[in-house]
Amino acid sequence: MSKSGTVYLVGAGPGDPGLVTLRAKECIENADAIVYDHLANPQMLSWARDDAEIVYAGKEAGESQLSQQGINALLIEKAREGKQVVRLKGGDPFVFGRGAEEAQAIADAGIPFEVVPGITSAIAGPAYAGIPMTHRAHNSHVTFFTGHEDPAKAESAIDYAALAKLGGTQVMLMGVERLGSITSEMLKQGVRSDLPVALVRSATTGKQETLTGTLADIAQKAVASDFKAPAVAVFGEVVALRDGLNWYEKRPLLGKRIVVTRTRNQASVLSGKLRALGAHVIELPTIRIEPPSNLREFAELVQDAHIYDWIVFTSANGVEALFDVFFKLYDDAREIGGVHIAAIGPATAQRVKDFHLHVDLQPDEFVAEAVVREFKKQGSIENLRILLVRAETARDTLPKELSALGAIVDEAFAYRTVPETRDTSGARRQLMCDGADLITFTSSSTVENFLALRLPWPKGMRIASIGPITSKTVRDQGLKVDVEARRHDINGLVQ
């Protein structure tokens, strides 16, 4: 009999991928199978292995992909196949998420399991809305309750009379649809009608919205503004502190939907900067980096890197590819000899420095023409041997111009940029259904491959380009560039 795998009940946090624990990310990265629900941000699936099995088991109000019994059976089945299974649940798996029921079923089946706690929206939602759970001047206790109880119960297990007497801060999860009846019951039990109340929707994401009112009018306001789940409700005097503590919803890009088309591995840098400004980021990778077609030829050039006068890196991908091969051939960075290094762009230069090497030439402009100008300033480069590390498909400006100046140029094709065919997070469907305000292009290949997907162009979606070469490709496709970065790198694009 084969050894059973382990099930990891992982808290996906309140929405922002940056708020998950290190342990949660580690579990996702190592999983053979991932079963996730609709409150788990699907962008986290980009951390999964390419060969991981991904199963959506979302349960939204009124409909579900799988019954709870079906989910339990699926987790047990995958574990009995010897797989490491991640059950990715929004918030914390043991806070109104039926994680306890899943854990019981797994334990009864004799399957090993682990619980990885997550930040619950019951705390994160109010915090991101500027509402503290406690304040010495207002309350000394917090109560959490659900507005969506087991429908099989004959009557509610929530003692609203006790809640009324208890006071303090009270937080309700999953009850927006029943807000009218719940607030009516609280009023009936003697809770004062002017008690401050706040509803926080899609907390910690670029879609976050907060609606405030009183116990008497919050339900009416929610209906009037079509305020829907997922949301948490906060009842108590601490809600009044929001006026002075509302920090997140003041961010400049809050509510803006921005598409990032970089590779899965590289998207996080740009996405993180945009999320920090409040944007709702849709990571829709259009390219993937793969080894070069002729890896042996590339390896031979890397092996002889020490014979060159200069190595020119055009991207961070080239740096990583070269040193990946280099350290399989040599165990000491000094084996690269006295070669000088040129790098286009700060990200490329930083990647070189990560290997404890000095960058001798870095142009202020991040284009091939600027490298040529910098070499001209160096004086004659006639008969200098230059190894140009680049993608298989790229402009031929550098090799042509450097050769014209008398240099002996060898092109080392370090990697291929190929179309990304996978969409594990459902980003394409999300773009088609919800649209976007802006799409970012960081290279010509991201433009070409996005258009090759033939997705309907969302109404009003504008284009931001990292620089003139990418912008030219956009215009060649008959599109308008609305924003072009003055500084042609990720920081420039964000600015």
Same domain, 338 and 275: no
| Angle at 273 (CA atoms; ends 268, 278), nearest 5 degrees | 115
Report percent pLDDT > 70 for the chain. Answer: 96
Q: What is the pLDDT of residue 195?
A: 97
> Looking at the domain assignment, is residue 2 inside a domain?
no
Same domain, 26 and 143: no
Average pLDDT over residues 57-62: 65
> Looking at the domain assignment, is residue 150 inside a domain?
yes
Same domain, 214 and 272: no
Same domain, 280 and 425: yes
Q: Mean pLDDT: which of 28-37, 38-47, 66-75, 159-168 is highest?
A: 28-37
Which of 174, 186, 256, 489 is labelled catalytic?
A: 174
Same domain, 410 and 334: yes
- Active-site residue, 133 included: no
Query: Is the per-residue pLDDT at 336 higher than 80?
Result: yes
Q: What is the pLDDT of residue 2?
A: 62
Calpha distance 464→270 (Å, rounded):
13
Query: Is the per-residue pLDDT at 470 higher than 80?
Result: yes
DSSP string, 447-495: HHHHHHTTPPPPTT-EEEESSHHHHHHHHHTT---SEE-SSSSHHHHH-
> Looking at the domain assignment, is residue 377 inside a domain?
yes
Q: Whole-angstrom distance between the N-terminal and C-terminal Cα of the chain?
A: 58
Residue 157's CATH number? 3.30.950.10
Phi, psi of 9 (to 5 degrees): -85, 100
Same domain, 165 and 216: yes
Same domain, 160 and 263: no
Same domain, 140 and 186: yes
Same domain, 142 and 162: yes
> Looking at the domain assignment, is residue 333 inside a domain?
yes
Which of 59, 273, 353, 472 is labelled catalytic?
A: 59
Q: What is the pLDDT of residue 149?
A: 66
Same domain, 23 and 98: yes
Residue 306's CATH number? 3.40.50.10090
478: confidence class by pLDDT, cuts 50, 70, 90? very high
Structure tokens at 208: 């976050």
Residue 109's CATH number? 3.40.1010.10
Same domain, 52 and 113: yes
- Active-site residue, 461 included: no
CA nearest neighbour of 9 among 64, 67, 58, 72: 72
Q: What is the pLDDT of residue 155?
A: 65
Neighbours of 469 (CB within 10 A): 18
> Looking at the domain assignment, is residue 401 inside a domain?
yes
pLDDT digits (tens, 9 = 90+) for 190-215: 999 999 999 999 999 999 999 999 99
Domain count, the chain: 4
Query: Is the per-residue pLDDT at 101 higher than 70?
Result: yes
How is residue 139 annotated by DSSP? Answer: B
> Looking at the domain assignment, is residue 393 inside a domain?
yes
Structure tokens at 469: 């070469």
Query: Is the per-residue pLDDT at 62 higher than 60?
Result: no
Q: What is the pLDDT of residue 66?
A: 82
> Looking at the domain assignment, is residue 1 inside a domain?
no
Report percent pLDDT > 90 for the chain. Answer: 75
Expressed as residue numbers, the domain containing 354 is: 290-419
Structure tokens at 429: 């469907």
- Active-site residue, 174 included: yes
Q: What 3-state class would DSSP assign to 390? A: strand
- Domain end point (choices 250, 275, 300): 250
Q: State the angle between helix axes of 316-329 and 346-354 in degrees (0 to 180), rounded to the nearest 10.
A: 20
- Domain end point (choices 97, 119, 141): 119
152: confidence class by pLDDT, cuts 50, 70, 90? low
Q: What is the pLDDT of residue 422?
A: 87
Q: What is the pLDDT of residue 60?
A: 60
Amino acid at 118: G
Query: Is the per-residue pLDDT at 249 higher than 80?
Result: yes
Q: What is the pLDDT of residue 114?
A: 98
Q: What is the pLDDT of residue 262?
A: 85
Calpha distance 265→254 (Å, rounded):
25
Q: What is the pLDDT of residue 148?
A: 76
Query: Is the per-residue pLDDT at 158 higher than 70?
Result: yes
pLDDT mean across residues, the chain: 91
Q: What is the pLDDT of residue 154?
A: 54
Same domain, 114 and 49: yes
CB of 447 closer than 8 Å to CB of 423: no
> Looking at the domain assignment, is residue 15 inside a domain?
yes
Average pLDDT over residues 476-486: 93
- Domain end point (choices 119, 138, 171): 119
Q: State the angle between helix axes of 68-80 and 99-108 in degrees (0 to 180), rounded to the nearest 10.
A: 40
